Structure 1
Amino acid sequence: MSTGKVVLGTAAGLAVGGILGILFAPEKGSVTRKQIIDKGNDYADDLKSKYNGIADTLKEKMKAVKKEAKDITEIGIDDFDKVNSEFNDEAKNF
């Protein structure tokens, strides 16, 4: 199971548990609705924060992969140029 699914399942479980806890609390309806809205906003903010953290991590990993690919490409081009130069020198001597 992927980490994203686990995080999403955990967040959903916490949200449902929080809402059920508030619904069964002995408060006035208006107070209960406000508590539900506040908890929902708290969970939404927490989920956004986790999403942004995951997105930032993925961006950093993609940057690292792109840099590594660029480095490998540059090495390959340098090696090709070297071999091509050596080939041309040998062809002239032939």
Structure 2
Amino acid sequence: MENKNYTDDQKYIRAKKKVKAIKGFYVHFTVYLLVNAFLIVSRMFSSGGYEDLWDWQTYNTAIFWGIGILFHAFKVFGMGILLGKDWEDHKIKEFMDKDKRDSWE
């Protein structure tokens, strides 16, 4: 009985760490959005106006920080966020349905 409680405690600790990691990602992503929106808008109003929207320097922080956000997402949610099991199952069903429709035509 004591071993089962230990397992439940470990599950709770792991779940709590996962929730904390997800929360940390969302905070990081929110800060990313706010800071980059501020940088882009302030650059637009401080110098060349709308012409600066097409300048590389307007977006370089957002691009490189965005790469960091992507890696943070992979760390928190795993690589399955893009091509996970659900995606595979969905694609298999999609191709099977397509083959089924094609065979009846």
Taking structure 2 as the reference length, what is the TM-score of the superposition? 0.44
**RCO higher in structure (CA 8 A, sep ≥6):** 2
Taking structure 1 as the reference length, what is the TM-score of the superposition? 0.48
Answer with 1 or 2: which has the greater Rg: 1
